């Protein structure tokens, strides 16, 4: 799969945004960046779309920028000329798809039945937009169809929201989901960019699914560290276990083992997807263990962060 399309999987969620006024484009982009989701698919359904893409490309190069609802080759040319790095289409238009393939433009066409999928497979495409997802039968249909096409992943869009996002992403053939609920037209037109950031953060939280699994204090930790874990265990309703080796909250381990980076102990956090978690920490400037890339994290059950928080090492565990 193309490297740019691979990155969509690291985000897990792609904002599909309709921008009616190009003057709002950069503000929308900044709101998404502040919400820890620096990716946008500008819907090519308005007269402002091309200029919106151009402004985001010029002012916010850190955003992974694409164009959606692309229907013609002319629109592909305009979007790419303005700075779009990938193209998303609602259906499978052979003329558009073939043009993109011939010109090395990453493209994700829309499909919702086996015949359309086979047109894409014939052309060697590995990532397809499942659209309209919910109206086409949702996750039930996707799970029924996907096993017939090994090596193909999907980007469900249409009806995805904070209530079903986690369920879609839990299916291993879902590369990422497309969503609009956190950057709706009304929020943009009313200048409520802080609200877009808040909703985006909530959406990213659903994608990552972070939860504290356990907190361990090493035997020779200072009193304030033991107190901190005791407080945390009480606050989060973890059982507090004390013994010769450790005092800890959480059910995962029976003793503390040996300390790596943490002077006082370790905190273990579970996540829905290690690959996305590793990419998220990288975007936030937090390094993971040396030699472990986000793609390598897919093959592991846990990763460690190269930081200590209040004297505790932090490990991320796959749920």
Q: Which two tokens stand for residue 309?
A: 């928080």
Active-site annotation holds for 41: yes
Query: What sign has the CA pseudo-torsion 292, 208, 26, 55?
Result: positive
Contacts of 288 (CB under 8 A, 6+ apart): 278, 281, 282, 297, 303, 304, 305, 306, 316
- Name the catalytic one among 41, 50, 51, 134: 41
Query: What sign has the CA pseudo-torsion 102, 106, 110, 116?
Result: positive
Rg (CA), the chain: 22
- Name the catalytic one among 129, 134, 248, 270: 129
Contacts of 262 (CB under 8 A, 6+ apart): 218, 308, 311, 312, 313, 314
- Evaluate whether 259 touches 265 at the Cβ level (below 8 Å): yes
- The terminus-to-terminus CA distance of the chain in angstroms comes to 26
Q: Which two tokens stand for residue 102?
A: 């011939």
Active site residues: 41, 129
């Amino acid at each position: 799969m193309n490297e740019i399309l691979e990155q969509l999987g690291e985000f897990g969620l792609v904002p599909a945004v309709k921008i009616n006024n190009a003057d709002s484009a950069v503000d929308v982009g900044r709101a998404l960046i502040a919400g820890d989701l620096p990716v946008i698919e500008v819907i090519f359904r308005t007269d402002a779309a091309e200029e919106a893409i151009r402004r985001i490309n010029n002012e916010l190069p850190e955003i992974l920028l694409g164009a959606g609802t692309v229907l013609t080759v002319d629109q592909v040319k305009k979007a790419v000329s303005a700075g779009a790095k990938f193209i998303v289409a609602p259906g499978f238009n052979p003329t558009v798809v073939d043009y993109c393939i011939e010109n090395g433009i990453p493209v994700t066409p829309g499909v919702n039945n086996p015949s359309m999928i086979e047109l894409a497979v014939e052309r060697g495409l590995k990532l397809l937009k499942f659209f309209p997802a919910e109206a086409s039968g949702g996750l039930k249909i996707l799970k029924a169809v996907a096993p017939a096409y090994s090596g193909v992943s999907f980007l469900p869009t249409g009806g995805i929201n904070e209530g079903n996002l986690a369920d879609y992403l839990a299916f291993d053939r879902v590369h990422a989901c497309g969503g609009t609920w956190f950057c709706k037209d009304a929020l943009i037109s009313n200048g409520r960019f802080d609200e877009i950031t808040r909703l985006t953060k909530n959406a990213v939280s659903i994608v990552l699914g972070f939860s504290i699994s356990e907190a361990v204090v090493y035997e020779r930790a200072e009193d304030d560290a033991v107190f901190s874990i005791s407080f945390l265990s009480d606050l989060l309703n973890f059982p507090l276990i004390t013994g010769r080796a450790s005092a800890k909250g959480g059910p995962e381990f029976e003793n503390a083992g040996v300390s790596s980076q943490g002077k006082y102990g370790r905190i273990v956090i579970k996540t829905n997807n290690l690959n996305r978690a590793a990419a998220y920490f990288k975007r936030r400037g937090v390094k993971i263990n040396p030699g472990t890339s986000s793609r390598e994290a897919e093959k592991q059950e846990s990763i460690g962060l190269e930081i200590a928080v209040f004297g505790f090492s932090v490990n991320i565990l796959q749920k």
